[in-house]
Amino acid sequence: MTELSRSPVPLLDLRAQYAALRDEIRLALDEVLETQKFILGPQLAELEQEIARRCGVRFGVGVASGTDALALTLRALGIGQGHEVIVPAFSFIATASAVVLAGARPVFADIEPLYFTLDPASVEARVTPKTRAIIAVHLYGHPAPIEMLQEIARHHHLFLIEDSAQALGATWRGRPTGSFGIAGCLSFYPTKNLGAYGDGGMVVTDSEELARRLRILRNHGQTEKYVSTELGWNSRLDELQAAVLRVKLRHLDGWTLRRQAVAARYTELLAPLEPVRVPRIAPLATHVFHQYTIRIASRDAIAERLAEQGIGTAVHYPVPLHLQPVFAHFEGRRGDCPEAERAAAEVLSLPIYPELTEAQIACVASAVADAVSAVRA
Ligand SMILES: Cc1ncc(COP(=O)(O)O)c(C=O)c1O
């Protein structure tokens, strides 16, 4: 390798994005600071409409995080004690902890190995009389098989909720994710494709009643000022975050195209490497590549070699949800969700962000090739 190709590539570098947006962001923040209105103001109202429109639905309700978006949606739908909610066994912890926070029981279904998203057959097998909802996760930015899940939900009279935390902009048959279920739950955690400068989230929905319920629940259960008709939360997306997100939203389409181009280039370079399995895109899907995640045996040894070369990687996620210590009381066993367990042992996310250069992409790919040969030797 040349000296140049050995320069470190971090898993994610948000500083380049900020450098490009600095003036726009500061202007937007200044505007909010001049008004001194920080909670439930015009920036949020505008952002809610902009995001809802982008997701092809009528309503957006800004909340404090993606976790709250999920938990509040469940609560608003009347899901809690005594109810079961089917979730994929392979996701970020919050998909399942939101169910527990709402008072219900998560039931873990297996995934399809090609796309890391819910396996409809596994979902169907886990429906019981207590089931009230399915949470489909569009993991890494790739849509879950949403029409089949819609069909299962319809057949069993269940709510379908989309965990779109990683998938703003992804589509299925040309239709935006987040618009298929009763609700789409978004996260604006800073590393997401649309990231705030702190925590944030939103529920998008076409249901006026659900939107109304969420607006009450996020604001202490108040139906009018200082009158609470039910127990609510303090979970609002503040004006400074909304202003940042509105600036960034103007750039999201361009960033997504660039992520897709970076992914395509990685795939071109990595697909010929025999033990590496590159991410696949389902025929009806568009993938927004929140993560570019390969599968590889000897994953940990490969990651170690890459770290030595200054290449940042991450494992999303090393422990399947049914085996998480916090959920031990649900009595998940190794073998319950074999595909999720295999994925947890094999996945490795490589650096991906819009500002990644051709040279950096080539450097990562050649470091992966070197690591593969070294580990094989
Ligand atoms: C799939 C998934 N669900 C839920 C969440 C929770 O979002 P937040 O961190 O905004 O609470 C995240 C991200 O962190 C996520 O990746």
In the predicted model, what is the mean pLDDT of residues 24-45? 98
Percent of the chain at pLDDT exceeding 70: 98
Indicate if ligand 1 lies below 6 Å from the C-beta of 94.
yes
Contacts of 335 (CB under 8 A, 6+ apart): 341
CATH code assigned at 289: 3.90.1150.10
Query: Would you say the CB of residue 95 lies under 6 angstroms from ligand 1?
Result: yes
User: What confidence tens digit (pLDDT) does each residue in 113-151 have?
Assistant: 999 999 999 999 999 999 999 999 999 999 999 999 999
Q: Are 121 and 220 in the same domain? A: yes
Assess whether pLDDT exceeds 80 at residue 1.
no
Claim to verify: residue 145 and residue 227 sit in the same structural domain: yes
| Res 295: pLDDT | 98
pLDDT at 39 over 90: yes
Query: Would strands 183-187 and 347-350 be described as parallel, antiparallel, or unpaired?
Result: unpaired
> How many other C-beta atoms can be found within 10 angstroms of the C-beta atom of residue 14?
14
Average pLDDT over residues 239-264: 98
Q: 255 with 314, same domain?
A: yes
Distances 44 to 25, 36, 63, 226, 244 between C-alpha atoms, Å:
15, 14, 10, 21, 10
Q: How far apart are CA 87 and CA 373, in angstroms?
A: 37
C-beta of 91 in contact with ligand 1 (< 6 A): yes
Q: Is the CB of 202 within 6 Å of ligand 1?
A: no
Indicate the top mutation candidate among 138, 187, 289, 321 to test ligand 1's pocket, ranked by most ligand atoms within 8 A of CB.
187
298 and 166 belong to one structural domain:
no
Instruction: Give per-residue pLDDT as tens, 203-250.
Output: 999 999 999 999 999 999 999 999 999 999 999 999 999 999 999 999
Residue minimizing CA distance to atom 10 of ligand 1: 66
CA 301 to CA 324: how far, in whole Å?
23
Co-location of 205 and 334 in the same domain: no
- The pLDDT tens digits for 266-285 are 999 999 998 999 999 999 99
247 Cα to the center of ligand 1, angstroms: 21
Please identify, by atom number, the ligand 1 atom nearest to the C-alpha of residue 201. Answer: 10
Q: Residue 164's pLDDT is what? A: 98
pLDDT in tens, 158-215: 999 999 999 999 999 999 999 999 999 999 999 999 999 999 999 999 999 999 999 9
pLDDT tops 70 at residue 347 = yes
- In the structure, what pLDDT confidence band is assigned to residue 377 with cuts at 50, 70 and 90? confident
* CA 39/CA 25 separation, integer angstroms: 18
Rounded-to-integer distance, Cα 304 and Cα 290, Å:
23
CB of 201 within 6 A of ligand 1: the answer is: yes
Residue 312 has pLDDT above 70, yes or no: yes
Domain end marker among 230, 249, 268? 249
Q: What pLDDT, on the 0 to 100 scale, is given for residue 120?
A: 98
165 lines ligand 1 (CB under 6 A): yes
Query: What is the structure's pLDDT at 289?
Result: 98
- Whether residue 3 has pLDDT greater than 70: no
Atom of ligand 1 nearest to the CA of 67: 11
Ligand 1 midpoint to CA 360 (Å): 28
Domain match, 234 and 294 both: no
Q: What is the pLDDT of residues 5-29, one digit of tens each?
A: 457 999 999 999 999 999 999 999 9
Instruction: For residue 242, report the distance from its CA to the centre of ligand 1, in Å.
Output: 18
Same domain, 191 and 261: no
Atom in ligand 1 nearest the alpha carbon of residue 166: 16
* Residue identifier of the C-alpha nearest atom 8 of ligand 1: 66
Residues 158 and 289 in one domain: no
**Are 167 and 142 spatial neighbours (Cβ–Cβ below 8 Å)?**
yes
Tokens of 285: 């899907």
- Say if residue 2's pLDDT is above 50: no
Residues 214 and 92 in one domain: yes
280 and 218 co-located in one domain: no
Q: Following DSSP, what letter does each residue of 270-303 receive, concatenated?
A: HTTSTT-B-----TTEE---S-EEEE-TTHHHHH
Q: From the CB of 239, is ligand 1 less than 6 Å away? A: no
Q: Which domain holds residue 327?
A: 4-8+251-376
- Does the beta carbon of 140 sit less than 6 angstroms from any atom of ligand 1? no
Query: Of 249, 271, 298, which marks where a domain is finished?
Result: 249
Assess whether 302 and 229 both reside in one domain: no
Q: Is the distance from the beta carbon of residue 67 to the nearest atom of ligand 1 less than 6 Å? A: yes
Which domain CATH number covers 174? 3.40.640.10
Residue 4's pLDDT band (cuts 50, 70, 90): very low
Task: Say how many domains are in the chain.
Answer: 2
Q: From CA 164, how far away is CA 54, in angstroms rounded?
A: 13
pTM: 0.97
Whether residue 189 has a cis bond before it, omega within 30° of 0: no
302 C-alpha to center of ligand 1: Å?
A: 27
Instruction: Decide: 349 in ligand 1 pocket, CB within 6 A.
Output: no
Clarify whether residues 137 and 229 are in a common domain: yes
CA nearest to 279, candidates 138, 167, 116, 165: 116
Residue where one domain finishes, among candidates 217, 249, 281: 249
Average pLDDT of the chain is: 97
The Å distance, Cα 72 to ligand 1 centre, comes to 14
Q: Tell me which of 185, 189, 316 to substitute to probe ligand 1's pocket, judged by most ligand atoms within 8 Å of the beta carbon.
A: 189
40: confidence class by pLDDT, cuts 50, 70, 90: very high
Cα 66 to ligand 1 centre (Å):
5
Q: Is 116 in the pocket of ligand 1 (CB under 6 A)?
A: no
Ligand 1: which of 63, 65, 92, 218 to mutate, most ligand atoms within 8 Å of CB?
Answer: 92
